Amino acid sequence: MQTHYLKYFVGLSLAAVLVLPSYLYVSVSPQFKALIIENMEREASRVSTHLVSMYSLKGKKEINRDSWEMLAKYDKEIREEFQIEKIKLFLASGEIVFSSNQKDIGIINQKSYFRDVVAKGQKYTKVVKKDHKTAEDRIVQVDVLEIYVPILQGNEFVGAFEIYYDITEANVRLDSLLMQVYFVLLCVSGTLLLALFIIFDRASKSLAKRKKADTGREKLITDLQEALKEIKALQGILPICSFCKQIRDDEGYWQQVDHYIGEHSDAQFSHSICPQCMKENYPDFADPEGESEKE
């Protein structure tokens, strides 16, 4: 029974060693990445609010040329200050009037996410892995977080900023941290599992020795019980004749010694003649040197 419980406990420990790293990978890692994205979305909203105030976009029904020309003038400083990979400015129609990449200017965003999400006053975020396409079908060379932040005047949509964050370093640091956690967890779990295996092995050997000892003891007891069944002991005072050496039994009858002992024990007699009796009764056959012969 104890061995069964030990096996059950070791099985649970092994399951924990396998499940916990999987849980970290499947559940904890995505939560950390979601937290990073959430923080960057808030940061993008602050950057957008700052740019709206800084470049005279606040309170206007539309974005004029002066605003995006001013934004183009300070593009590099803005990206360095806020650690942004790229900035775009859209009109309400979806036309790009400013971009850190001049090739984007004039393109009209007709994607459904812009029309159904951004134009209705909601942020739109997309994580793009290296060598994959952005929401606008641009292939990026680094891991980026693409965030669309609508510009609203009251409840009216007048345009939007698209802000790209390079999240390659953040992903590398997060993956490195998670790998360290995995490694430490595996080391601790492996050590505990090894200790459990050692305890289980020693306990199994101890139980085996105890079982062997119990089996030996039970066999000894059985052998002794069997031996006791075969033993008939003569106890008490035996009345014996001083001359003929016959023994009186419980019923008052006198019996020869060999007959009496044969009835009251498992002993058997083999008859012979001692040298003295041989000499007295059979002098002609007596051994001169005093040795006896068996019948």
Q: How far apart are CA 236 and CA 256, in angstroms?
A: 18
* Exposed e or buried b per residue across 210-247, where buried means at least 16 C-beta atoms within 10 angstroms of its C-beta: eeeeeeeeeeeeeeeeeeeeeeeeeeeeeeeeeeeebb
Strand ranges (E), 167-214: none
Q: How far apart are CA 84 and CA 92, in angstroms?
A: 23
pLDDT tier, 293 (very low <50, low <70, confident <90, very high otherwise):
very low
Per-residue pLDDT reduced to its tens digit, 244-288: 777 777 777 788 877 777 777 767 777 777 888 877 777 776 666
Point out the least confidently predicted range of 36-45, 172-181, 194-203, 230-239: 230-239
Residue given tokens 């640091």 in the structure block? 173
Query: Tokens at residue 184, please?
Result: 């430490």
What's the pLDDT at 292? 41
Q: Is 294's pLDDT higher than 60?
A: no
Per-residue pLDDT reduced to its tens digit, 70-97: 888 888 888 888 888 889 999 999 999 9
pLDDT tier, 116 (very low <50, low <70, confident <90, very high otherwise):
very high
Q: Which amino acid is at 113?
A: Y
Q: How far apart are CA 163 and CA 36, in angstroms?
A: 15
Distance between the two ends of the chain, CA-based, in angstroms?
65
Q: How far apart are CA 85 and CA 45, in angstroms?
A: 16
Q: How far apart are CA 86 and CA 54, in angstroms?
A: 18
Residue with the bigger pLDDT between 43 and 66: it is 43
What's the pLDDT at 7? 64
Per-residue pLDDT reduced to its tens digit, 197-245: 787 778 778 878 888 888 888 888 887 777 666 555 556 677 877 777 7
C-alpha angle 50-55-60 in degrees, rounded to nearest 5: 100
How distant, in Å, are the alpha carbons of 13, 40, 58, 87 from that of 145? 39, 8, 26, 12
Q: Which amino acid is at 239?
A: P
Q: How many CB atoms lie within 10 A of CB 255?
A: 15
Q: What is the DSSP letter of 172?
A: H
| Domains of the chain, each with CATH number or no CATH | 2-175 (3.30.450.20)
pLDDT tier, 117 (very low <50, low <70, confident <90, very high otherwise):
very high
Entry pTM: 0.56
Beta bridge partners of 248: 254
How distant, in Å, are the alpha carbons of 91, 145, 164, 169 from that of 142? 27, 10, 11, 10
pLDDT tier, 38 (very low <50, low <70, confident <90, very high otherwise):
confident
